[in-house]
Amino acid sequence: MGLRIFNTLSRSVQEFVPLDPAGRQVGMYCCGPTVYDFAHIGNWRTFVFADLVRRYLEFKGYELRHVMNITDVEDKIIRRVRETQTPLREFTGQYEAAFLEDLKTLNCRRPHHTPRATEHIPEIISLIEQLLARGLAYQAGDGSVYFSIEKYRGCGCAYGQLVKLNFDEMRVGERVQSDEYAKESVADFALWKARVPDDGEVFWPSPWGEGRPGWHIECSAMSMKVLGQSFDLHLGGEDLMFPHHEDEIAQSEGATGQPFVKYWLHGAFLLVEGRKMSKSLGNFFTLRDLLGKGFSGREIRYALISAHYRETFNFTLENLQGARTALARIDECLGKLRELANAAKPPGAAPGDLLTEFTAALDNDLNVAAAWGAVFDWVRATNRRLAAGELDAAMATAALAEWEKVDSVLGIGVVADAEAPPEIIELLEARQAARQAKDFKRSDAIRDELKAKGWIIEDTPKGPKLKQA
Ligand SMILES: [Zn+2]
């Protein structure tokens, strides 16, 4: 059986069939970061979810084109640029770089394309021109260009494909300039915002005068530029469903007359310690905050993909402790298999059917919780067979090969000595020096210090080895 996913458009679980007649190529777009600050752990849940989808599609043999935009011009950015008196590119560049670094820390595969909004102004302008030509947009008295929901609906198009909207109770026809507006109003939204004094130096020329694009039009222009008018998958957090994604559909289908996206996938919210994350509650974490508490990227990644993407996830520091324990169990089992496999022979039969169960779980609307269940069943069974001496080198090699395939999706990898941070390596070297000088008191003290930092030293015939505790 193939992959089945919950499509927000149909509100049902559907078989995944790519638009490509050959059934191989898949286009996937995920709304990227707005680079005005460090991304928080709620944002990261969505990005790691997108990475899981990407890795699983690649695991299934699809040729993926993964696009994630960088929103580098938008209301919040302009405000921060004004407050910090930094040039736009300099301001957004630092957060874009931090974002890409964090993406790596979480072992996410880098999207094939990461287009910046500010580098697609001509595409954005031409899309707005198409909407004007089709009579679906208008320039208002303030000089800004708006999308007309009424005209769009008038030509038989559906606004509200993702969320059910009750138009009778809404004040249709009102106009908003803000990128993020109240969910209660189905308002005409700005495609192009006329320059105002607060924009400072952030503006571009256009047929409608100086100004800048609205947030929603950026995603339509960039996704269709790279993936074409119609593509397979569009992902995002559930908070983006309305108005952002509804507006993307309206702009794109309004301009091209073609269906925009075949499958919409939305990741659910993340709570922290049972509550909505907020700075005032003290439960607001960026990735860097958590790294600063001594957790590793793979532990955080593990926690973020431990629950099904459509379930609200309660993220706690206890989860991260649990992630550490769970990963240690996997590492230990793999370590034993590697030792056994070292007397390498041709692959024999793998000890279980990890791959079959793992694939069945993820095919079922990406049920990652069940996939982890299959992993830990396998760890338990493998440990039992190792203890009973039932595995030989060939079987261990086959088991490791199977694990490699599974980990190509989970991406929790294996921590090698080389990946230990420099300060840890330094401590290890200091301990070696102390041992050579027969200063065992000092070498023991350094060992304890490493342990407190989450690293264990194993003395092997080939020298000391570092392991994450
Ligand atoms: Zn978007």
Per-residue confidence (pLDDT) for residue 425, from 0 to 100: 79
Mean pLDDT along residues 414-426: 66
Per-residue confidence (pLDDT) for residue 171, from 0 to 100: 64
Ligand 1 midpoint to CA 208 (Å): 24
Q: What is the mean pLDDT of the chain?
A: 91
Residue 85, C-beta contacts closer than 8 angstroms, at least 6 positions apart: none
Of the candidates 224, 226, 222, 220, the one whose C-alpha atom is nearest the C-alpha of residue 248 is: 220
Ligand 1 midpoint to CA 38 (Å): 18
Per-residue confidence (pLDDT) for residue 127, from 0 to 100: 98
Q: Where are the beta strands (DSSP E) in 225-312?
A: 231-237, 261-267, 270-272, 275-276
Q: Is residue 224 within 8 Å of 252, Cβ to Cβ?
A: yes
Mean pLDDT along residues 148-158: 91
Ligand 1 midpoint to CA 457 (Å): 46
Does 418 score more than 50 pLDDT? no
> How far apart, in whole angstroms, are the C-alpha atoms of residue 246 and residue 9?
11
pLDDT digits over 172-197, tens only?
667 888 777 655 567 899 999 999 99
Ligand 1 midpoint to CA 325 (Å): 36
Task: Give 469 or 454, the one with higher predicted confidence.
Answer: 454
Q: pTM for the whole thing?
A: 0.86
Q: What structural domains and CATH numbers belong to the chain?
A: 19-271 (3.40.50.620), 324-412 (1.20.120.640), 417-468 (no CATH)
Ligand 1 midpoint to CA 224 (Å): 12
Counting DSSP H helices and E strands in the chain, the numbers are 15, 16
Does 99 score more than 80 pLDDT? yes
Per-residue confidence (pLDDT) for residue 41, from 0 to 100: 96
Ligand 1 midpoint to CA 244 (Å): 6
Per-residue confidence (pLDDT) for residue 342, from 0 to 100: 76
User: Tokens 């649990």 belong to which residue?
Assistant: 322
Ligand 1 midpoint to CA 32 (Å): 7
Q: What residues sit around ligand 1, an ion, with C-beta below 5 angstroms?
A: 31, 219
pLDDT digits over 30-65, tens only?
999 999 999 999 999 999 999 999 999 999 999 999
Q: Is residue 270 within 8 Å of 312, Cβ to Cβ?
A: yes
Per-residue confidence (pLDDT) for residue 350, from 0 to 100: 56
pLDDT digits over 108-146, tens only?
999 999 999 999 999 999 999 999 999 999 999 989 999
CA-based R_g, the chain, Å: 26
Per-residue confidence (pLDDT) for residue 430, from 0 to 100: 87
Ligand 1 midpoint to CA 218 (Å): 7
Of all residues in the chain, the percent with pLDDT exceeding 90 is: 76
User: Tokens 């947030």 belong to which residue?
Assistant: 215
Does 310 score more than 80 pLDDT? yes
Per-residue confidence (pLDDT) for residue 172, from 0 to 100: 62
Ligand 1 midpoint to CA 237 (Å): 10
Per-residue confidence (pLDDT) for residue 314, from 0 to 100: 96
Burial 443-462 (b: 16+ CB within 10 A, else e): beebbeebeeeebebeeeee
Ligand 1 midpoint to CA 290 (Å): 27
Confidence class for position 450, pLDDT limits 50, 70, 90: confident
Per-residue confidence (pLDDT) for residue 239, from 0 to 100: 92
> How far apart, in whole angstroms, are the C-alpha atoms of residue 216 and residue 220?
7
Ligand 1 midpoint to CA 451 (Å): 44
Per-residue confidence (pLDDT) for residue 415, from 0 to 100: 61
Confidence class for position 462, pLDDT limits 50, 70, 90: low
Ligand 1 midpoint to CA 116 (Å): 12
